[in-house]
Chains A and B, each alone.
Chain A
Amino acid sequence: MSAGTSDVAISGAVPDVAPRRGGVLAGRGSALAAALIFAALAVLPPIASAIGDPFLVVTATRIVVFAIAALSLDLVLGYGAMVSFGHAAFVGLGAYAVAILSSHGIDDVLVQALAAIGACALFALVTGAISLRTKGVYFIMITLAFGQMAYFFMVSLSAYGGDDGLTLSARSTLFGLPVLAGDIPLFYASLAVLALAFLGLRALTLSRFGRVLRGTKENPVRMQAIGFRPFAFQLTAYVIAGALAGLAGVLLANQAEFVSPAYMSWQRSGELIVMVVLGGMGTLVGPIGGAIAFLLLEDWLALFSEHWKLGLGVLLVLLVLFTRGGIAGGVERLFGKARP
């Protein structure tokens, strides 16, 4: 790279083209795939009521909520190359923001969401700043340990249910109106959050910020050499992802009308990573597909045996040993080859 081009890169005046790396799903294909998924989800409630299976909407809401959490993790994992193993803690903190405020009589969803975002952003800022001082296996273990710290904090917080969790007296309201009381409105609200989060993160990853983040993933030393401080960009991404996961937690608490420390256990964090990788990380649409696939697979395996986790584990190991790139990788291989 000549000195001239790197000057351009520093000033951020790089022409706004689709990212060079990544195939179909990283560019316009990603938006198309996401639009298809959102459209399919949007017509789900009428279909569910037509075939007389209202529980379908409940399952779909759960899927959408976890898709938001997986999407936020993709910013950290897929774009920032930070293997965070404590992401479920943010989901749990968001859920607890709803439950704790609600137990004090504050039911407005806007206040709860603001509290959740604030608490998660602060937690992400502090733990991220410490964790990002380290790299590699250290980072994985530290994020895991901080996640466990939050978990044990909630377990021992007996004033708010402790290990047993806390049941919500009612779902959140908006300006005093119980708009989320029905399952279908809650589903559409969750879907709207998912769509907005997708669009927001897409804009973010295509912006200068996103390019610096990707550059840091590819080669942190070179990014430093051309004048960026990767730490600041990575920490910002970590905080944004944490706040978004907190928002997913707000929806999760409303969907289940119950919160417990189990939401924050490290197994949940592991499952979120599985969703992102299963779907294809660094694609944004992949993790949404991954969340859908993972939760459907979970439900489906549970039909066969109480030992369904065994099947899930075997599948995971085989997936890692014999395939690369998850669902999105498969789609890319399928469609990517057809193009010149």
Chain B
Amino acid sequence: MFNLFLLQALNGVQFGILLFLVAAGLTLIFGIMDLINLAHGVLYMVGAYFAATFTALTGDFLLGLAIALPAALLFGLVLEFLIFRHLYERDHLDQVLATFGLILILNEGVKIVWGAAPMSVPIPELLSGSIPLIGPLQYPFYRVVIITAGLATAVGLWLLVNHTRVGMLLRAGAVNAPMVSALGVDIRRLFMLVFGFGAMLAGFAGAMVAPILSVEPGMGDGVLILTFVVIVIGGVGSVRGAFVAAILVGLVDTLGRTFGPIVLRAVMDPSAASQTGRTLAPMLIYILMAAVLFFRPSGLFPAKGAAA
């Protein structure tokens, strides 16, 4: 039982790390630009497709990843230039509609370019295999790599946000963007930077999961909703909140699916327990979100203080 718990907890952390990579950029986009971007999930999908394509072209995953990242950044910047730039001044409803349209375009677009069939990316030789945990327990090495890469990115982001000039502007922007602009900062350039960087982080998450998930149209949609839950729990505009909430959501979702039925079996008969557990497990994170919001309507770490 403990072994199972350890494995599932690691899976949960790995899932949470991925959610964090997608959520980190999006929470800044929400917080600093006050822009609701539904299309962030498709950026994750596009990142996965880029990784799959460039890996197939170069024959090497790491090289493919190295090309996919700037490609995702470029893709984000192009989208910013073509569409998002015109949405900053609009109300939330316009933003919802335009980015919803963008989801339709990109989901259908990848079908046209890459076909509707799922693509798979082999795990690179160097990163395959398992590493021993306790006793006979093994854990896939590639998942450890994902966790490590995610944690390294989180540390990098923390340094960037808390110890650089750009990070200072980001934090100031999340609290009061008009004031930052009034103080002479080119807020448009800051917006562009945040958007491109957020697109690259989402693309990075997509590229990292490409070898363990199937790369297919619509793969970003589910991630998008989970990312929203993460951002709402963590507090809009807070990278720290996104990290804590992402790990929390990853753990609750993964452990809930495995242990929900097991725990319920203690109080009801096995078939009813597994049925109830399977029904309740996917709802757990939403219940968690509702509970957090009930007590803290602006999330765990609100960037704008309690008033926002």
Which residues of A does B touch, CB under 8 Å?
77, 83, 85, 127, 130, 133-134, 136-138, 140-142, 144-146, 148-149, 152-153, 155-159, 266-267, 270, 273-274, 277, 281, 307, 309-310, 312-317, 319-321
* Number of residues on chain B facing chain A (CB within 8 A): 47
B215 at the interface (CB under 8 A from A): no
Q: Flag if B286 contacts A149 (CB, 8 Å).
A: yes
Q: Flag if B229 contacts A145 (CB, 8 Å).
A: yes
B168 at the interface (CB under 8 A from A): no
Q: Flag if B225 contacts A316 (CB, 8 Å).
A: no
Q: Flag if A307 contacts B98 (CB, 8 Å).
A: no
Of the candidates A130, A140, A144, A321, the one whose C-beta lies within 8 Å of that of B86 is A321
8 contacts between A and B (CB under 8 A): A136-B34, A137-B92, A141-B231, A144-B228, A148-B286, A152-B282, A317-B101, A317-B102
B285 → chain A closest CB, angstroms: 8
Q: Closest A-chain residue to B297, C-beta based?
A: A133
A residues within 8 A CB of B109?
310
B residues within 8 A CB of A145?
225, 228-229, 232, 286, 289
B213 at the interface (CB under 8 A from A): no
Which residues of B does A touch, CB under 8 Å?
30, 34, 36, 38, 83, 86-87, 90, 92-94, 96-98, 100-109, 111-112, 221, 225, 228-229, 231-232, 236, 275, 278-279, 281-283, 286-287, 289-290, 293-294, 297-298
Q: Flag if B231 contacts A313 (CB, 8 Å).
A: no
Given contacts A266-B221, A310-B105, A321-B98, 4 further A-B contacts (CB under 8 A): A142-B232, A267-B221, A314-B105, A319-B101
Q: Flag if B108 contacts A153 (CB, 8 Å).
A: no
Bound together, the chains give a CA A315 to CA B283 distance in angstroms of 35
Of the candidates A137, A149, A159, A320, the one whose C-beta lies within 8 Å of that of B36 is A137
A residues within 8 A CB of B86?
321
A residues within 8 A CB of B101?
312-317, 319-320
Of the candidates A142, A153, A313, the one whose C-beta lies within 8 Å of that of B283 is A153
Check A153/B228 contact, CB under 8 A, given A313-B104, A319-B97.
no
